[in-house]
Structure 1
Amino acid sequence: MMYRPHYERLTDPVDVGSADRPGEFPPDDETVDVAGVELPPGRSRYYTRDGTTTGIRLGWETAEPIDDAYRVWLSLVRVFSTTGLWPVVGRLGYGTARPWEQHHHWKRETAQDRPNTIERVLAEAWDGQAWCDARTGARLPETRPPFGGLAPGTAETGTNLFPSTDAWWYRPGVITLIAVKYPWEAPGVGGWDLALNQSLIGADFSAVLKSWQERFGAHMLSAAELVVTRPPQDSDQAVRLAEEHRLVCPYDSQFHDPDERPGEYADGLIGSTRWQFWWD
């Protein structure tokens, strides 16, 4: 799937910040008010183990899609530091089971024996994409240019500016609330599982999102889409960031489309206010 860059005007000031603590979920099956933002009735989602629901909450989601999902999302982002509930349009994952409880080879989200940083995630992705002998499985001599390191971030200029709700149409969707202290924690807490075929779990994507938020003001809008308040401004940033995107999401056809000239994806990142991914 090929995504095109988006260049919405960044006009709505929002001081996202962090919460004092993860928030309390709304009650189930009734209309709720989340710090002044009214939401229709919804229900909590729980982790399951061996097909049985546990008492561990993934999040809370509206029972029906909301027409003006982006407007509601941005309203909830505005009050996040008060509520400790990060909003996501749609669900964060396909299922409700933890991978390591279904497959013994999966690493745990709470593993303490490896640093939970973007550097570790990208290094593992780089290592996992090395060429191997088809018969023996032995690793072949390295011919790829070395990874150029993380892209330099775009400097902060004060309060984050988000795309205006007046200028941006967004498809209807349920609103999911994830109880976290920091926005980037949402994938690890909320059961994000879009990249299991790449051995990436929610904690991995949280580590990536933390770095992208710090460097580019990237915030999770949906499980596969980020709103970016400080996008890259030059080709050096964009080329290096494009390589980060490719390592995190290597099977996305936007990195392999034969109709795209080399560097076109990186060019599109300059000034782009949304990043979209496709894990298949």
Structure 2
Amino acid sequence: MATLPNPLPHLAADPTGSALGLALPAGRLIDATDEGPWHEPLLWHADAPSAPGDWTTHHSAGRPVGLLPVVIEVGGGQGGPQDWELIPADTSYPGDHDPEEVLTGFWEEYAAQDETWPGLAPAAMGTDARRADDLAAQLADSLLSPGSSFKEPRLALVPARRSADIPAAIGWSGPVNYESDTARLCAVLRSWEDRFGIRVLALTFNQLVLSVAAPPATLAEAEATAAEHFAFCPDNITQGAHPTLRAYAEHELLAKQTWSFWWD
């Protein structure tokens, strides 16, 4: 993947990141991949649980040096990111892919033969970067708090300029049984970032959670977006609680500020 300079190697000699303007707690650098250690760290994550406000603090300090926050699960059945078999060597650059071409290809492969790709859903009204960042921080605080759906959530920092690029930046292998080049999916995330104000909120071994600042506001808009979700992650519908696009749109997308994807 084509990337900007990675600031994470500085943390090996400066664990708090003070030279970068950071004030990090005790944590660890992750360079483990499916083929052994990567030539540079792919992410940093805190060793201990985070406090409310830590996402905002690290987002504000990290963004100017090219680091963005994401919540990761370190206590799931598949362990933390050192056990996820990351595949950065197989990951291209999100900007090299057209999101509609990616989704069209998936739709043609997985949708019924008589179903025509409907095209991209229209952009939601009122998408604003500040609002998107504020919502992500609010939801991250909730996810990092005791009693959340994550067993052992930790705050991580990833070398990326866009939140949508975070999965590709670490070579995330969660969708590997569906798509081995996560950058192709990140091209879609970039489009959702522009149209719906998404931020990559959290990652587990095979789950992706997004915050959505400008979700579909009508059922028609939600149904159009549901088609994209089906192409992006068919398991959400075929193995989910709402097996039709209309039901999925109504219950999972309409005015919902989080989107979650899981690949078998």
The reply on whether 1:45 has 2:30 as its aligned counterpart is yes
Q: Which has the larger radius of gyration?
A: 1
2:84 is matched by which residue type in structure 1? Answer: G
Q: Which runs of 5+ in 1 are unaligned?
A: 1-20, 101-107, 132-141
Mark the runs of 5 or more structure 2 residues left unpaired by the alignment.
74-79, 146-152
- Distance in 2, Cα, partners of 1:148 & 1:235: 15
Please say if 1:56 is aligned against 2:45: no
2:143 is matched with 170
Shift of 1:156: 3.4
Rounded Cα–Cα distance in structure 2 between residues aligned with 1:253 and 1:122: 15
The structure-2 alpha-carbon separation of the partners of 1:213 and 1:34, relative to structure 1 and needing over 3 Å to count, comes to: farther
Give the C-alpha shift of residue 168 in structure 1.
Answer: 6.3
What is the TM-score of this pair, normalised by structure 2?
0.75
Change (3 A) 1:129 1:156: same
**Post-superposition offset of 1:263:** 2.1
The residue that corresponds to 1:252 in the other structure is 236
Matches within 5 A, 1:169-208: 169-172=142-145, 173-208=153-188
Letter in 1 for 2:246: G
Aligned equivalents of 1:109, 1:115: Cα separation in 2: 11
Please report the RMSD computed on the Cα atoms of aligned residues, expressed in angstroms.
Answer: 3.4
- Cα distance per residue 1:80-139 (max 9 Å; x no partner): 541310111016955244287xxxxxxx42389x951211221221232156xxxxxxxx
Q: In proportion to residue count, which structure has more helix?
A: 2
Q: Could you say which structure has the greater relative contact order, defined with CA pairs below 8 angstroms and 6 or more residues apart?
A: 1
Aligned length: 237
Identity %: 27
Instruction: Report deviation, 1:32.
Output: 4.5
- Deviations along 1:156-206, whole A, 9 cap, x unmatched? 365532337499632452122111222222111112111111124321221
* 8 A Cα contact 2:237 2:245, kept in partner: no
Counterparts of 2:139 and 2:120, CA distance in 1? 34
The answer to whether structure 1 residue 98 and structure 2 residue 87 are counterparts is yes
Corresponding residue SS for 1:271: coil
CA spacing shift, 1:126–1:253, aligned 2, 3 Å: closer
Residue 244 to residue 98, structure 1, CA distance change in 2 (3 Å): same
The question of 1:122 aligning with 2:92 is answered no
Equivalent residue runs for 1:1-280 within 5 Å: 24-25=7-8, 27-28=11-12, 30-32=15-17, 38-48=23-33, 50=35, 52-68=36-52, 71-90=53-72, 95-98=84-87, 108-110=90-92, 116-129=97-110, 142-143=113-114, 145-156=115-126, 158-161=128-131, 162-163=134-135, 165=138, 169-172=142-145, 173-223=153-203, 224-252=208-236, 256-257=240-241, 263-268=246-251, 269-280=253-264
CA distance in 2, matches of 1:98, 1:167: 26
SS across alignment from 1:197: coil
Q: Which amino acid aligns with 1:169?
A: S
Note if contact 1:22-1:181 (Cα within 8 Å) is conserved in structure 2: no
